[in-house]
Amino acid sequence: MLTLLLIFFPLAAALLLFVFRPQNAKVVALIAALIELIISLVIVTQFDKTGAPQFSIDIPWITSLGLSLSVAIDGISLLLVLLTTVLVPFIILSSFSHTYEKPSTFYGLILTMQMALVGVFVARDGLLFYLFWEVALIPIYFICLIWGGEDRGRITFKFFVYTLAGSLFMLVGLVYLYFQTPGSHTFAIQALYEAGRSLSATEQSLLFWALFVAFAIKMPVFPFHTWQPDTYTVSPVQGTMLLSGIMLKMGIYGVIRWLIPVVPGGVAQWGMTAVIISVIGIIYASCIAIVQKDFKRLIAYSSIAHVGLISAGIFTLSAIGIQGAMIQMLSHGIIVFALFYIIEIIFDRTKTRTLSELGGIRNVAPILTTVFVITMLGSVALPFTSGFVGEFLLINAVFQYQAALGAIAGVTIILGAVYMLRTFQKSMSGETNNRTSSFVDLTGQEKLVLYPIVILIILIGVYPTPLLEISESAVNTLLHSITEVTASAN
Amino acid sequence: MVSIDLLVSLVPLFPLLGFLFVALNTRRLTQGVTAFIACGSVLFSFIISIALFVTLLGMPEGDRSISVTLFNWIAAGDFSASISFLVDPLSSLFLLIITGVGFLIHVYSIGYMHHDEGFNRFFSYLNLFVFFMLLLVMGANYLLMFVGWEGVGLCSYLLIGFWFKNQDYNNAANKAFIMNRIGDLGMLLGVILIFVHFGSIQYTEVFSKATSIDTTTLTLITILLFVGAMGKSAQLPLYTWLPDAMAGPTPVSALIHAATMVTAGVYMVCRNNLLYALSPATLELIVIVGLATALFAATIAIAQNDIKKVLAYSTVSQLGLMFLALGLGAFTSGIFHMATHAFFKALLFLGAGSVIHALSGEQDIRNMGGLKKYLPVTYVTFFAGVLAISGIPPFAGFFSKDEILASAFAHNKIVWAVAVIASLLTAFYMFRLFFLTFFGKERASKHAMEHIHESPKSITIPLIALAILSVVGGFMGVPEVLGGSHWLSHYLHPVFASSHDLIQTHHLSHTTEYILMGTVVAFTIVTIVIAYTMYIGKEQVPAAEGQPVGGLQRTLANKYYVDEIYNAIIVKPLYWISGVLDAVIERLGIDKLVNAFGGSVVEGSKITRLLQNGGIGYYIFVMVIGIVIILAYAVIR
């Protein structure tokens, strides 16, 4: 029952907002998000780290379609659920100083989004997964469209069509798999796994690409990324946070939960290609980040670089790589959230995101500076920050997979320093100018958002063990199952 | 009796607590409280380091090693790294130097930073630096060493850009961080390669398996690790950040960019002496890099006019000598020179700081001169440092440098000759600096001369302490030939024992050693006399900016244009390529392709536009219907 509560409580809260349109929608939304966080923490306390998928529920829904409301939580799901339930309250809180028009709709959409995200991470039925996947697109689309910046119509349309087109590939793939299941057909995860694994090499190849394109667009991985910088830049900041902090992890999760176990043969065939594409993307996006003038756009590209490394690590099909990906997803989520919030804070006070127009903020805002520095260090993967744990494991995995690729992927720690230090210098150091001279340091509400995040960045960096332990057994199970398949195939 | 484990953990803990306390209360603490906490925490660590040192000495020679494991840090798949410390003769020696010299420089900073509004921030960074430096040398595995390694890099970055209003300083800070990161990537890959081949990154396990690993692998590992050392210890070709790092406050130059952080590479190679001893090719590479750096940087130093820049290039050059020693397999000599260098170079930097302080910020030696009567303590202590670095017996530098030169001679006469030239250049530029600063006409501006004063006690006492160490520090390694017992080599013997068996050392006869020593000292004295005639006899002053100078001198003054070359072949191309990727591939290539694809779909569907009303809701509706139809078909079939 806890799982259902976890999924549908945010939806209930969202409906409440949509229907009753309370005066202080943001407070209601925050309370709902906090309750959701508590629910997820209850699940954490009851979670058995060594066990199989838990808290499972399997209710036939539309039996004629083979669709059932089948959900369960294993370590991989739990970490991403946690990321979602931890970040959403912060995202809501980060909007408190801003007054959005139609607040009930705005916060209702955020909570709807949360429902869909949690659903994606716990679904154990192919069609259910697909439904949540698509439902997640709708609220974020409206958030960007209604509250976005300049040229939002064109950009959000592109975003919508692009990701929708990707998902259709996935749908085709899933339906194809469905027809391969025995008997009266089902979308149940285990049946799909078995169906996929029994396919011929060619079929697995095709299916690999159908699913890969869908997930790659969502992450996004080079060269499927061009919707992302524009969308991140034009979205209201809470939208950007949802997209970059949580939603892109849907794509990565999709690879881990669906792509790899469904078509291990396809992955064996195309894994190297995927790693190469991802590594190219790391360098490509890092280089482009170096020359960005807009702060938000720069972080958007840096996010593509970080995600490229995660993707490369996953396709090495090693425990180090996937564990690294898990921890890096969390780390990237909180760091990118903090970075976008810092950008918003600076934009709010100076009305600009152009780096050359900023500068000298350090003179007047020492607290913001400290927060920025720690977040930046997390982003460039300095040891004892969360970013290091993930990136070290990922580079380690890619290096073991193919040493030259590992070395190239490792260049990210140099290029990351190049663009992040430059950004920090341009925005924060030097003398103040007329835009920044009256800059006000962090307010209490802003501290309330950023302090916990900064503490988390360091805490996860120094003691990541509890998180790594959560997903360990699920990752091992996954790898064990696919090695079994490849072993029996030989 | 406190447990030894606790003592070990307390060493890095005190500076960490000091950092946290000061950093979290930056705006509340008075200068006095900050100074008390920051200096006190390092002093505590120093006292405990002494206790650990004594404890080690009390143990039988073979078991002089204490390991402490605190907790499991990262574990994934078959990889695991713990937070664990190792205190053995090698790390214990570094502990003493880091906390001892570190404490003196902390005390010095109280006086030096007194007028700075960032006083508290400065001390918090300094404490954080000591913490990471201690982790670096105490870590019992490669990853923890890497934590310290990057952590000190961070502090270096923060302190070089300490005066952040000046964008030149910020550029210097960024350059230091990025250039170190290039080295760090090499080191990180080296650590991963170690894990791949040894299945562990714990020192003890790695060393115990070292002989069973093939030479090619070991060579690759040691070279990758050494790339890290090139960055951190400013060796060719990754040295250009260190001279720029002088943008930071002078105590930082003394502590981080002379005495401790930059010797991390020396520590790393010595810690891995067994791996290096098993990879002769890497040792040869280190000899070449070290020797080239020693000579190259020394030639630049003779044409610099900024007092700190001279010392910076001198540091690069002296580090080159240390690596030369390591490459020759003379690990003890490398450590010995690291220790004496820490004393005299910290002294020289702090002395330079005292001069700069006295002259209200003047750093150009052309605008100094005749300062000895105004700054008597600085003058005398600085003189001790100059004698030590020049290798005049019995000052500290003499013994350690002599050892390196002797090993070089035994290895290869050309290597020896080049090392001697570098060493003579050192004597020359140091006396040039010394004479121009303290002797001759008073060339400082009127304004500066009005305010001139000897520095306060918090500055002069550390100078005196370091001067004493620079005079007597060499006695920890008096060679047999001079009637000593070389305490240091006995002390470090357990650390280097296994690699000493692997590396062939040619023993020099006592007569040869006497001749070598005599020759070098004689040449050094001749060099000093030349410097004396030039700068005191003829009262030469280096040409002012803009005045025509010879081609060679211009090249030297411009540091062989290396910065310009790097800019032209690395920095500019990187930005150019990035710009092209952004403008051409990204905007004109991929994005246009995507839009064209989308556009053609739109064009093609104009025929069916009756079905379209432009509303997203409608599209979703159609999509859902579509899904239902497909699924319905599946069911009916």
In a domain, B215, yes or no: no
User: Which residues of chain A make contact with B13, given a CB cutoff of 8 A?
Assistant: none
Average pLDDT, chain A: 91
First to last CA, chain A: 42
Q: Is the pLDDT of residue B118 over 70?
A: yes
Q: At what angle do helices B331-358 and B89-112 cross, to 10 degrees?
A: 0
B119: contact with A, CB 8 A cutoff: no
Per-residue pLDDT, B605: 59
- Identify the pLDDT of residue B430: 93
CA distances to A157, B21, B532 from B621, in Å: 16, 60, 93
Q: What is the pLDDT of residues B50-59, one digit of tens each?
A: 999 999 888 8
Question: Which of B76, B170, B627 shows the shortest C-beta gap to A393?
Answer: B76
User: What's the whole-number mean pLDDT along residues B66-78?
Assistant: 90
Statement: residue B609 has pLDDT above 60: no
Query: Can you give the residue range of the structural domain that contains B592?
Result: 575-604
Nearest CA in chain B to A131: B624
Confidence class for position B149, pLDDT limits 50, 70, 90: very high
Q: What is the spatial distance between Cα A22 and Cα B598, in angstroms, rounded to a whole number? A: 41
Residues 6+ away with beta carbon under 8 Å from B536: B435, B439, B440
* Most A CBs within 10 Å, among B223, B586, B597, to test the A interface: B586
Torsion B325-B327-B330-B332 (CA) sign:
positive
Tell me what pLDDT residue B83 has. 93
Which candidate, B182, B197, B269, places its Cα nearest to that of B231? Answer: B182
| Closest to A51 measured CA to CA, from A77, A69, A85 | A77
The string of DSSP codes covering B455-481 is PPHHHHHHHHHHHHHHHHGGGGG--GG
Cβ neighbors of B39 (< 8 A, separation 6 or more) are: B103, B106, B107, B110
Q: In degrees to the nearest 10, what's the CA dihedral of B373, B376, B382, B387?
A: 80
Rounded to whole angstroms, the Cα distance separating B294 from B292 reads: 5
Query: Of A223, A327, A406, which has the smallest distance from its Cβ to B590's Cβ?
Result: A223
- Is residue B78 a contact partner of residue B199, using CB atoms and an 8 Å limit? yes
Q: B143 and chain A: CB distance < 8 Å anywhere?
A: yes
At residue A334 the predicted structure's pLDDT band, cuts being 50, 70 and 90, is: very high
Flag whether pLDDT at B611 surpasses 60: no
pLDDT of residue B617: 59
User: Is A114 within 8 Å of A82 (Cβ atoms)?
Assistant: no
CB contact under 8 A, A223 and B78: no
CA distance A437 to A428: 11
* Number of CB atoms found within 10 A of residue A282's CB: 29
Alpha helices in A291-402 (DSSP H): 295-314, 319-350, 361-364, 366-379, 386-401
DSSP state, residue B238: S
Nearest to B154 among A64, A226, A377 (CB): A377
How many CB atoms are closer than 10 A to CB B582? 18
Report the residue from B151, B173, B192 with minimal CB separation from A395: B192
Is the pLDDT reported for residue A83 higher than 90?
yes
User: How many domains in chain B?
Assistant: 2
**Rounded mean pLDDT of B233-262?**
89
Cα A12 to chain centroid distance, Å, stands at 24
Apex B261 CA angle, B255 and B267, nearest 5:
130
Closest residue in chain B to residue A177, using alpha carbons only: B634
Identify the pLDDT of residue A152: 87
Lowest-pLDDT choice from A106-120, B322-336, B529-543: B529-543
Would the pLDDT of B338 be above 90? yes
* pLDDT of B269 above 90: yes
DSSP H or E segment with residue A11:
helix A2-20
One domain, residues B599 and B615: no
Helix, coil or strand: residue A97 = coil
* Cβ within 8 Å, pair A417-B196: no
B534 pLDDT above the threshold of 70: yes
Sign, Cα dihedral of B343, B346, B349, B355 = negative
Q: Tell me: the pLDDT tens digits for B398-439?
A: 989 998 999 999 888 999 999 999 999 999 999 999 998 888
pLDDT at B613 over 60: no
**How far apart are the CA of B124 and the nearest CA of chain A, in angstroms?**
13
Q: What is the pLDDT of residues A85-116, one digit of tens each?
A: 999 999 999 998 888 888 888 999 999 999 99
CA A472 to centroid of chain Cα atoms: 19
B621 vs B292, more confident: B292
Which range in A239-253, B389-403, B494-508 is most confidently predicted, on average pLDDT?
A239-253
Instruction: Examine residue B89 and state whether it is found in any structural domain, yes or no.
Output: no
Tell me whether residues B189 and A407 touch, CB distance under 8 A: yes
- The answer to whether residue B497 is domain-embedded is no
- The 10 Å Cβ neighbour count of residue B26 is 17
**Does residue A278 surpass a pLDDT of 90?**
yes
Assigned domain for B636 exists: yes
Q: For the packed helices A295-314 and A264-290, what is the interaxial angle rounded to 10 degrees? A: 150
**Residue A408 · residue A283 · CB < 8 Å:** yes
The whole-number pLDDT of residue B357 equals 87
When pLDDT is averaged across residues B13-26 and rounded to a whole number, the result is 92
User: Which DSSP string corresponds to B69-85?
Assistant: EEEEEEEETTEEEEEEE
**Backbone angles phi and psi of B118, in degrees to 5:** -90, 25
Which residues fall within 8 angstroms of residue B322, CB to CB, at 6 or more apart? Answer: B233, B263, B266, B290, B334, B337, B338, B341, B404
Q: Tell me, what's the pLDDT at A423?
A: 92
Average pLDDT over residues B215-237: 93
**3-state SS class at A282:** helix
ipTM: 0.92
Q: Give the residue extent of every domain in chain A.
A: 264-484
Q: Give the lowest-confidence range in A44-53, A87-96, A290-299.
A: A44-53
Reply yes or no: is the peptide bond before residue B237 cis, omega within 30 of 0.
Answer: yes
Return the H-helix or E-strand segment holding B67. strand B66-76
A175–B631 CB contact, under 8 Å = yes
Q: Which residue has the tokens 């006592």?
A: B510
B4 vs B320 pLDDT, higher one: B320
Nearest CA to CA, how far is A35 from chain B (Å)? 31
Q: Measured between alpha carbons, how far is B71 from A462 in angstroms, rounded to an integer?
A: 10
Per-residue confidence (pLDDT) for residue B61, from 0 to 100? 81
For residue A153, the model assigns a pLDDT of 86
Q: What pTM, to 2 d.p., does this model score?
A: 0.92
Nearest one of B185, B184, B194, B571 to A408, comparing CA atoms: B185
Model pLDDT, residue B552: 79
Residues of chain A contacting B193 with CB distance shorter than 8 Å? 399
pLDDT in tens, A420-469: 999 999 999 988 888 888 888 889 999 999 999 999 999 999 999 999 99
CA distance B343 to chain A (A): 30
Partner-chain residue, chosen from A185, A421, A431, that has the shortest CB–CB distance to B165: A431
Residue B635's alpha-carbon distances to A64, A174, A188, A190, in angstroms, are: 6, 15, 16, 20
Long-range CB contacts (within 8 A, 24+) of B527-535? B527/B424, B527/B427, B527/B428, B527/B431, B528/B390, B528/B427, B528/B428, B528/B431, B530/B428, B531/B427, B531/B428, B531/B431, B531/B432, B531/B435, B532/B431, B532/B435, B534/B432, B535/B431, B535/B432, B535/B435, B535/B436, B535/B439, B535/B440
Residue B627 is assigned to a structural domain of this protein: yes
Which residues of chain A are within 8 Å of residue B577 when distances are taken between CB atoms?
287
Using 50, 70 and 90 to split pLDDT, how confident is the model at B607? low
From CA B131, how far away is CA B38, in angstroms rounded?
Answer: 12
pLDDT confidence band for A223 (50 / 70 / 90): confident
Query: Does residue A294 sit in helix, strand or coil?
Result: strand
The DSSP-derived string for A102-169 is SHHHHHHHHHHHHHHHHHHHHB-BHHHHHHHHHHHHHHHHHHHHHH--TTHHHHHHHHHHHHHHHHHH
Question: Who contacts A324 (Cβ-Cβ below 8 Å, separation ≥6)?
Answer: A310, A313, A389, A390, A391, A392, A393, A394, A396, A397, B76
Question: How far does Cα B379 stand from its chain's mean position?
Answer: 27
> Which residue in B10, B2, B80 sits closest to B42, CA to CA?
B10
* CB–CB contacts below 8 A, A to B: 149
Q: How far is CA A376 from CA A83, A379, B284, B390, in A?
A: 20, 5, 39, 43
- How many angstroms separate the Cα of B71 from the Cα of each of A43, B52, B67, B145, B623? 26, 21, 13, 16, 54
Sequence-distant (6+) residues with CB within 8 A of A52 are A74, A477
pLDDT over 90 at A302, yes or no: yes
| B587 Cβ contact list (under 8 Å, min separation 6) | none
Q: How many CB atoms lie under 10 A from the CB of residue A48?
A: 9
Q: What is the pLDDT of residue B99?
A: 94
The pLDDT of residue B606: 58
Residues A274/A315, Cβ–Cβ less than 8 Å? yes
Q: Provide the shortest C-alpha distance from residue A263 to chain B (in Å).
A: 22
B612: in domain: yes
**A484 has pLDDT over 80:** no
Q: A185 pLDDT exceeds 70?
A: yes
